[in-house]
Structures are given as structure tokens and as C-alpha cells.
Chains A and B, each alone.
Chain A
Amino acid sequence: KAGVTQTPRYLIKTRGQQVTLSCSPISGHRSVSWYQQTPGQGLQFLFEYFSETQRNKGNFPGRFSGRQFSNSRSEMNVSTLELGDSALYLCASSLGQGDRGYTFGSGTRLTVV
């Protein structure tokens, strides 16, 4: 079966702009989580959506937001981009029970210049 698909793979944006990233989970998975990966901070949890509802949120500013559609696809938005937002953004899909494997997508590499 198809894996987790993230688009686009690469993005270059200018400070102050906004960006939207997309994640299509594995068929049948209703949970999508988002993570930011940087060399300095490692993998940090942004938020999780299940059946179009945000169930959990990490410690990121309000510039980071997300949503989930009825087909379980999720989008993440970052407004007013800062240089420090440059990172690999990963999404992970799962069935949603919290104690099963999370499958990651290949990520979107965002560079803010």
C-alpha cells in the first residue's frame, strides 16, 4: 500500500512569507502528526490531528497551525516565516490509538532566506 506522501519535497521562502505543507496519510490511517527536525533541536512535536480535530499540540508559536480534511489529508501552515523556521518538516500517520507504529513521510525541506 502507498506510504505517507508529503508535498512539496523542497521549498525556499523569504522571511515574512507564509507557507503551506501537505501530508497524505496511509489509507485507513486517521491520525496525522507533524514534527520539525533541525540539527540543533532534533525532532520536535508540532501537533496531531484525528478525524479533523486537533487532539494535541506542542510548544510552538501560534504562527504554526494545521488542519485535517475529511479524507484525513492534513496541511500545516507557517505564517510570517523566520530564518529559524528552516527545517525538515515531517508528518507521521497512524491508526490513532497512540500505541502503534507511526509511519513517517519523507518530509518537506523548508529553507527560509
Chain B
Amino acid sequence: GENVEQHPSTLSVQEGDSAVIKCTYSDSASNYFPWYKQELGKRPQLIIDIRSNVGEKKDQRIAVTLNKTAKHFSLHITETQPEDSAVYFCAASIAGGTSYGKLTFGQGTILTVHP
């Protein structure tokens, strides 16, 4: 089955710096890649997603890039703020067949933004 590896497990940056989190996936059939932010004691919230027919997507300070050949995708956060501190999860999914509804998650990255 699909396997998603996420790095780094912890990331500490100064306010205003950029943060990059990287994920690799194993199943070349994966075609949907969402990123979730989970604050302590709260539910995971979708912050950005990308489909396999797109190489890059941006939403204000957040961007995601996808390299299908290398089977990896990355989250980029620019001008980080203390409120960006949370656990970030990448995930991969195969839309269709018997794989509906199944997101395979990375292990998470604890991002800490220091004021």
C-alpha cells in the first residue's frame, strides 16, 4: 500500500523566516495531496491541496509543489508568524477504484515559530 514519509519531524524558525516541509510517497497512482494543520487539542484543518495534474499551487503565504517523477511534494510557508506554530501533516490519496476516502498521512512536523 501507499507509504508517505515526512521530514523534518520538528522545525524551529524565527518569525519572518520561511519554513519548508517535505514529503515523499511510494504509490505512483496517488493523485491528490492535501496538507493539514493541527493545533494542540484541535482538529486537523486543510490548508492547501494539490492534484497530480498541477505542479505548484499558492495561497497567500503558503505554497505547495509537486514533483511526480520524483514522487515528492513540499509545503512552503513564507513570512512565518507565531500563529503558524502547529503540527503539519502531509497526505496522499488515490481517487478512484478501491481507494476512495483513504488519506495516507505522513508522521507530522512540529513547527515552532519564535517571536
Contact = CB atoms under 8 A, between A and B. Distances in A.
Contacts of A58: 102
Interface residues of B, number: 28
DSSP class of B's interface residues: helix, strand, loop or mixed? Answer: loop
B44 interface: yes
Contact of A31 (B51, B89, B101, B107): B101
A84 to B, nearest CB: 18
Contacts of A100: 32
Given A98-B96, A99-B93, A106-B43, A48 B102 contact: yes
DSSP class of A's interface residues: helix, strand, loop or mixed? Answer: strand
B102 A31 contact: no
21 contacts: A33-B101, A42-B105, A42-B106, A42-B107, A42-B108, A43-B105, A44-B105, A45-B101, A47-B101, A48-B101, A56-B99, A58-B102, A92-B103, A96-B101, A98-B99, A99-B95, A101-B34, A101-B49, A102-B34, A102-B46, A104-B44
